[in-house]
Amino acid sequence: MQIWPGRSYPLGASYDGSGVNFALFSEVAERVELCLIGDDGAETRIDLPETDGFVHHVYLPGVQPGQRYGYRVHGPFDPANGHRCNPAKLLLDPYAKAVEGQIDGDESLFSYRFGKPDAFNDDDSAGHTMLSVVVNPFFDWGNDRSPDHEYHDSVVYEAHVKGLTQTHPGIPEEIRGTYAGIAHPAMIEHLKSLGVTAIELMPVHQFVQDPHLLEKGLANYWGYNTIGFFAPHNAYSAAGQRGQQVQEFKGMVKALHEADIEVILDVVYNHTAEGNHQGPTLCFRGIDNSAYYRLVDEDKAHYFDTTGTGNSLLMRHPHVLQLIMDSLRYWVLEMHVDGFRFDLASSLARQFHEVDRLSAFFDLVQQDPVVSQVKLIAEPWDVGDGGYQVGNFPPLWTEWNGRYRDTVRDFWRGEPSTLGEMASRITGSSDLYEHSGRKPIASVNFITAHDGFTLRDLVSYNEKHNEANGEGGADGESHNRSWNCGVEGDTDDPEVTALRARQQRNFLTTLLLSQGIPMIAHGDELGRGQQGNNNVYCQDNELAWVDWDLDKTQEELLAFARRVVALRRDHPVFRRRRFLGGTGPGEEGGLGDVAWFNPSGEAMTDTDWNEGHARSMMVFLNGDAIWEPDTRGERVVDDSFLVAFNASHEPMDFMIPGDVYGEGWLVQLDTSDDQIGIVSVFDDATTLLPGVEFPVTGRSIVVLRRPRVANNGG
């Protein structure tokens, strides 16, 4: 085999049509061996002959895509000083574009003996670990382009590749649970009919299956256990050939783009699957432990953990920052994804100890001409001190708004003194974002997500029921702000089931008619339940998968969800790009863009807002006072809306406000309806006039619309 010096950049294995350049960073390595793995498992070991800037590299003519490989790094094993090199461990390439296999939990994966933590383990891990695979980067993208939806026009759908598709009857069985399953016309049709503009996929970076879960008959279902930041997870691929998961993933993105749907990835750059000092040596730990991981300053044998997973990446090391930025650019430029949701993003801001919004990571993102132009969504918290940072990320970022989730849940379960904060949340949370020059699109509004109750369980359980996880109920959030509507769990009581259905409609309506970016958790539009389990991270089975066998109630909920998404899409008054001001140069009598009323149709007073037992209010959204140019510079106008919220258990009469707010109000939506398209307490042709009362059922929303044709008389 010919061995050429090669180049130190790019890192990883790069195929150019004639051969492969291999490059690996390690500042601590004394010697690096590249191990080519044959079909029979035999290794061909090649010393990397050149080192530039701590990058060890070689070029091998004739090596082709599909070649499996790994590294053995010779260097100090000195945990007390932060070094854990062990050439007996076959290591993944941190820049591997594809990975084959999974670990099996064998003792050889660890640098200590089971039961003897001080005994050095030099057993060879080959045959028990994962292998890197050289990939062919060439793909026919055709005329692919990003849909590039504006933030304010977006409806995000959080989904799990396997969980969304595993039981769908319209998808061929052999591709269920895969990238090809997501790309299937049956799945794309569902997403299109629902009206979502972006699918946010839970982790698809190559992750590790935890042996301790497998021993209990469980699995790492969610995938927040990354080991390969460039490689699509191999278990989600229907293709059987090595490295073909890359082609399949690209095909999925291309199909979604053709359907005008963006692809956002949930990415985990805050830690890796190697865990703490008792974890396996799979990749980074054996390459350069002290460069990749945050160690305890006074005790470098242990890891500084702000993620609750055993380790945290060292965000002030230039090669860690390079790894993350190279990964992000790769997924945008080579895989054509449209954005990222950053798991435990506060950890990325911990350049030293505190969360610093001006850390090097944010500086790099801000100046990067590629990454800065895609959608960037932060989960703005971690488990470290000062980790809850909702509202504090830089202006380029949007955030999962945990305050929105908590407030809306409290409002609809009848908690006292929630009116004021509810008003702030449904109008874009200006109290959190406006001070830093941000806009309503800074807020990703959600009520449920993968972590926690589903929407159906949120209205069906007061307590979590996580016994199936095998942790004695100790796992998962205990304070869920849920309400079971009077009965814990499944019931045949028609009053309870009707109330639960109405509450789900209330949540969906609130979410989709709020200013900001709505995010729907997969299956919530179908009434998906998890039997009260609010932490299905280890349940790769029917409990966590979306069940597509729908009953009549679920079909009605889906129809309702489609209807409300369409209402948002058709009316820019619900998806404004600027915060509502309360005052402004409206066309009709100087009206502002928003006004708040009590059920009597009178303007809300301080007393009304602060009344602890009050659970009802009405908001006027003035379609004539949007005053925002569209992308062509033309002024946007819309119909006006009155939205009446009644979170009380008692029905209540609301009154249409005075003449100044216009006449000819039509009922657009009533969440007390059980039959979609039929308003139970109104005739479709009824127009409501100022001073007229209209009934709002207990725990429901009524949306009234005043068409613009009625505003200007023609």
Closest CA to 46 of 54, 57, 55: 57
DSSP element (H, E) containing 15: strand 12-15
Query: 218 vs 212, 214, 622, 668, 710, CA distance in Å?
Result: 9, 5, 52, 46, 60
555 in active site: no
Residue 76 phi/psi, 5-degree rounding, is -70, 135
379 in active site: yes
Q: Which residues make Cβ contacts (< 8 Å) with residue 714, sequence separation at least 6? A: none
- State CA 525 to chain mean position distance: 17
Q: Are strands 19-25 and 31-37 parallel, antiparallel or unpaired?
A: unpaired
Closest CA to 309 of 266, 350, 274, 351: 274
Closest CA to 237 of 251, 224, 227: 251
Q: How far apart are CA 14 and CA 1, in angstroms?
A: 18
Give the single-character DSSP code of 524: G
Of the residues 93, 158, 274, 379, which is catalytic?
379
CA terminus-to-terminus distance, the chain? 82
Closest CA to 537 of 215, 307, 221, 273: 221
User: In 3-state terms, what secondary structure has residue 59?
Assistant: strand
Of the residues 338, 343, 457, 638, which is catalytic?
343
Q: How far apart are CA 179 and CA 248, in angstroms?
A: 6
Q: How far apart are CA 693 and CA 704, in angstroms?
A: 13
- Residue keyed to tokens 């895969």: 178
Residue 321 C-beta-side C-alpha neighbours within 13 Å:
15
Q: How far apart are CA 610 and CA 613, in angstroms?
A: 9
Closest CA to 234 of 273, 204, 201, 256: 204
Closest CA to 702 of 662, 661, 673, 664: 673
User: In 3-state terms, what secondary structure has residue 502?
Assistant: helix
Q: How far apart are CA 97 and CA 131, in angstroms?
A: 11
Closest CA to 199 of 186, 184, 182: 182
Q: Quick count: other Cβ atoms within 10 Å of Cβ 691? A: 11
Q: Which residues make Cβ contacts (< 8 Å) with residue 279, sequence separation at least 6? A: 110, 273, 285, 310, 311
Q: How far apart are CA 7 and CA 611, in angstroms?
A: 70
Strand partners of residue 116: 113
Active site residues: 343, 379
